Structure 1
Amino acid sequence: MSRSIESRVGGALTALGMSAVVLIAAAPATASAEAAAASPATVVRGQPGSACTVRPLAYPPDVYRADAEAIDPTGRFIAGTALRVEDTGNQELLLFWDRDRLTTLESPLLSSVADVNSSGVVVGNGWIDAQGRPWTYRDGVFTPLPVPPSRSAGATAINEAGDIIGVAEETATGNRRPLRWPAARPGTVETLDVPRTDPLPVAITQDGTIVGNGGDFARETAWVRRPDGRVADLTVPDARSTLVDSAAGHWAVGRAYLDGGYGINVRWDLRDRSWSRLADALELVTDVNAHGVVVGGDRIARGGTSRVLPGGTGGRAIADTGVVVGFRNDGRVIPMRWTGC
């Protein structure tokens, strides 16, 4: 489960040989990084009978910034990025947590993290020769994903089955082409049939339901594509535009823009496409779990009510267990984890 679409896609991507595999060395967390994870936790009252706890995640001590950006539905695997500033240039790092064990990785493919599933497969995007490329990471190996001939492409999400979705920008027209990398056919990519203008797939649920956005600028409409290929709009009455950011279970969350540009955060029930308004105190939405619990900015929301996530700046992703990951910025951006909130 991952953060909002704006930070998931890693730019222009070109087709490379699908068999290319980049092997990297995995560096374990240092003692200093482990000390960061063991820092005293902040505890406040969360849900009845629970304590809302926030604690820094381990991170390399020599980085300029570090961030936790995606978490799998079980809460076991977390993925993020860090930036190491060196005299020879900046180095992007992949941060991969298996429970509390941090692995720090380098790869020329790495630029951004899109998602991670409960098998520990991370998807993300990066750059090669000034052109981008989607990739997967598993068991110490970065593997470029195959892409069709295009100006650019990127991966946006992965589900529990291992199906990956994303988008390509067509060379001739610049139009978006929605893509799926099916787990049942490794090493292949297919174009999704989504009869919408410039369709951008955003999230894929466990049963293969896909949500995304499409349409002309400022008049975009969110959509849902069922596993059988049926596509329908996700709308809000009197809204001139709707955008979806994330989905899990039978829930999707996003924003509806009313006339005058006023926006409200909304949650759709994908079973019947009904909608409800989220708490106004929630300034933005970045993720939702299978129980419909929403995280965004410094708040977590359950329907029309929300509460502040203590001790942090931004929640990015939420597991089905309720664990939230994100970052704190008190002069240095560091990765955080909230439990029991």
Structure 2
Amino acid sequence: MTYTARRRMLAGTAAGLLAASLGVAVSSPATASTATAAPARTTASACTISTLPYPTDTYRADASAIDPSGRFVAGTGLRVGETENEYLLLVWDKQRLIEIVAPGSGLDPVDVNESGTVIANGWAESGIGRPWTYRDGKLQQLPVLPSTGIFVTAINSAGDIVGFGSDIVPGEFSALRWPAARPGTVEVLDAPVNAQATGITPNGTIVGQAGPFGDWTGWVRRPNGKVKPLAVAGGGSTVVNAAAGHWAIGQVWLGGNNPAKVRWDLRNGSHTILDPEAGLDDVNAKGVVVGGALVTRGATSRVLPGGGNVGAKAIADTGAIVGFRNADRVTPVRWTGC
């Protein structure tokens, strides 16, 4: 469940803010709030890190997505050849590793669901963004609309996929959905003008942001099609990174040089201001946020083992976390008991 907006797939104007910096959010009761105490940070003795199996002949490998059950993980690998690089899509089913040679300059997996369907972003020969899926051993392109680039951001347990495209309407972004109930189709969502969909929950609730660059507004679209703002009273430009369960995370400009990090309760729209150092890489259905070398449950931020040279990218509802460690090379890792 990633944000994905997480974070990496935006390839262009919105990339820097939607990808967000690494870190962790401080979790607290979902009530409207505009301030937070300094987070307590500890090292959890029960928390362990392990290296996921990866091709030993690769130059680098990482893990960037995990399904809510913790069974499936997706990531990338790079094998350096004599004449050209070989880019790999890596999929772990528990500890069993599947290697798929990715087309072109590689694929960037952004999410995976409980059925093991991986969604990823790639590039067409023309250089524009083109989304893919890996499902039941098959790698295939998703249907697209005429555009200057289309990207996926999230998939839910039903198999519904969301994302966005540029210039489907000239000069704008359009929020998109690939409905599992209608395979082989893609539709423009009824969403605010100039919208990007960045997360989808199991019941089909979709979140995102809309508006011109640097002046975004957050929104949430209910399964019945009703769209409401996702905001903070008195706040300015808002970016929504990801959603899981009844939680969404993002950042809101409240004045000053840096945006405030926020977690919303989608049941009632209330919000909590998070640790200002938080990164917003992922949130799970329990409201736990991960990023960088930190994970937060309740009011305590815990430092993930790995010597500080680690990056947490995604968290399952079981609490399992995946990401990378950068020592002598970048390798895929998994944390448990954190």
> Judging changes above 3 Å, is the alpha-carbon distance between structure 1 residues 265 and 249 closer, same or farther for their aligned structure 2 residues?
same
Cα deviation, residue 51, structure 1: 1.6
Task: Supply the AA of the counterpart residue of 1:100.
Answer: Q
User: Which stretch of structure 1 is more off in the superposition, 183-192 or 299-308?
Assistant: 299-308
Q: 1:216: Cα distance to partner? A: 2.2
Q: Does 1:71 align with 2:71?
A: no
Counterpart residue number, 1:24: none
2:320 is the counterpart of 1:319: no
| Aligned equivalent of 1:164 | 161
User: Which of 76, 85, 92 is matched with 2:80 structurally?
Assistant: 85
| Kept after mapping to 1: 8 A contact 2:143/2:186 | yes
Deviations 1:208-262, CA, capped at 9 Å, x for gaps: 0001111222221221111111111111233222211111000011112221232
Alignment partner of 1:5: what SS? coil
Q: Percent identical across equivalent pairs?
A: 54
* Equivalent residues, number: 305
Report deviation, 1:9: 2.5
- 1:203: which partner in 2? 199
What's the counterpart of residue 15 of structure 1? none
User: Do residues 190 (structure 1) and 187 (structure 2) align?
Assistant: yes
Higher percent of residues as strand:
1
C-alpha distance in structure 1 between counterparts of 2:286 and 2:168, whole Å: 40
Tell me, yes or no, if the aligned pair for 2:116 and 2:135 is still in contact at 8 Å.
Answer: yes
Superposition RMSD in Å: 1.9
Please list every run of 5 or more consecutive structure 1 residues that lacks an aligned counterpart in the other structure: 13-43
Asked if the contact 2:3/2:199 (under 8 Å) is kept, the reply is: no
Pair 329,94 (structure 1): closer, same or farther in 2 beyond 3 Å = same
Q: What secondary structure is seen at the aligned counterpart in 1 of 2:253?
A: strand
Q: Does 1:58 align with 2:53?
A: yes
Indicate which of 223, 229, 232 corresponds to 1:233: 229
Specify the alignment match of 1:117 in structure 2.
113
* C-alpha distance in structure 2 between counterparts of 1:241 and 1:3, whole Å: 18
Give the conservation status (yes or no) of the 8 Å contact 1:11–1:125. no
- Write out aligned runs for 1:278-293 (5 A): 278-280=274-276, 282-293=277-288
| Deviation of 1:204 (Å) | 0.4
- Amino acid across the alignment from 2:218: A
Deviation at 1:182, TM superposition (A): 0.5
AA at the equivalent of 1:103: I
Query: Whose RCO is larger (CA < 8 A, sep 6+)?
Result: 2
1:135 equivalent in structure 2:
132
Does residue 1:5 correspond to 2:5, yes or no? yes
Q: CA deviation at 1:3?
A: 4.6
Q: Write the distance in 2 (CA, Å) between the matches of 1:254 and 1:171.
A: 25
Alignment of structure 1 residues 291-310 onto 2, 5 Å: 291-310=286-305
Unaligned runs of 5+ residues in structure 2 are: 13-41
Normalising by structure 2, we get a TM-score of 0.85
| 1:28 match | none
| Residue 98 to residue 270, structure 1, CA distance change in 2 (3 Å) | same
Please identify runs of 4+ aligned residues in structure 1 that moved more than 4 A: none
Deviation at 1:7, TM superposition (A): 4.5
